Amino acid sequence: MGAGIEQRLRGIAVSADYVRLDGFDLVSIVDENAPASVTTPAQRSVAEADATRPLSPSSGYRKLLTLGNVGRSWYRALQVKAVGGPPSVRFVAAYTLAHADDQANYELPEDSRNIDAEHGRAPTDLRHSGSAALTWQIPGERPLTRGWALATVMVLRSGRPYTVTWGDDRNGTTQNDARPGARNTAETGAYRVVDLSLAKHETVGRARLEARLELFNLFNTVNYDEYVGSLQSSLFGQPISAFPRRRLQLALVLRY
């Protein structure tokens, strides 16, 4: 559900919306033959955990993974947007303050006997997200000066969550996902990128030619992606991959 307001202020359309989404009966993966729960910081071996499984692994089965619908999700957001500008210069700016949680949603739980312990930040939880775009139709009447357009897009986002784990199988489940606390309690670095494009449109007979030069990540900002969450790793808390650096692209499009 959602509710919002919109108002025009000196030619600029400003809107604010509150959005609430609750997900029920989402796809879940659960081990129906999971061992009994264990409370941190207690540890146990695989044999000790197997002894508490409803069906003994001696029967040939340790895990019985089943698809179900016990997954849940919760999303709350305030979205603010502004659109306007004179005919030759148009802009749009948007900001979202949001919080997203989920539970047993597409991920095998650390403890299939305690689904409630899986309630935590969703992997897609972005607390702050902002973007702005500007397009300028460059004035010109001569063949070499007409039909030019300059555009830029800026995206700013706060970090995404990731889970801290012990890095071993101290729960004895053979899942190697034992963790000291809740899911997704750590956070990656922020994401910042500015893109720029310069385009020229020209009509040739019945055809329309568009030449476009695009620069992605104009300032060559380093935006890290994946981080190491294992406490036993020497790289714990460090990034191990990143989004693309600056890229240049030239495109020619002919339309009839």
Whether the pLDDT of residue 91 is over 90: the answer is: yes
**pTM for the full predicted model:** 0.87
At 202-250, the pLDDT tens digits run 887 788 888 999 999 999 999 999 999 999 999 999 999 999 999 999 9
Residue 194 near residue 201, CB atoms below 8 Å: no
Q: What is the C-alpha to C-alpha distance for residues 42 and 137, in angstroms, rounded to an integer?
A: 66
Domain total of the chain = 1
Domain around 25: 2-255
How far is the CA of 70 from the CAs of 108, 117, 119, 184, in angstroms? 12, 13, 12, 19
Q: What is the 3-state secondary structure (H, E, C) of 164-192?
A: CECCCCCCCCCCCCCCCCCCCCEECCCEE
Measured from the Cβ of residue 161, the count of other Cβ atoms closer than 10 Å reads 20
Cβ neighbors of 142 (< 8 A, separation 6 or more) are none
Q: What is the C-alpha to C-alpha distance for residues 84 and 14, in angstroms, rounded to an integer?
A: 9
**Helix (H/G/I), strand (E/B), else coil: 31:** strand
At 109-153, the pLDDT tens digits run 999 999 999 999 999 999 999 999 999 999 988 878 888 999 999
Q: What is the C-alpha to C-alpha distance for residues 196 and 135, in angstroms, rounded to an integer?
A: 10
Cβ neighbors of 131 (< 8 A, separation 6 or more) are 93, 94, 153, 154, 155, 156
Write down the pLDDT at residue 182: 94
Whether the pLDDT of residue 89 is over 90: the answer is: yes
DSSP-derived secondary structure letter, 47 = H
Q: What is the C-alpha to C-alpha distance for residues 223 and 9, in angstroms, rounded to an integer?
A: 36
Measured from the Cβ of residue 197, the count of other Cβ atoms closer than 10 Å reads 18
At 197-210, the pLDDT tens digits run 999 988 877 888 88
Alpha carbon 174 to chain centroid, angstroms: 28
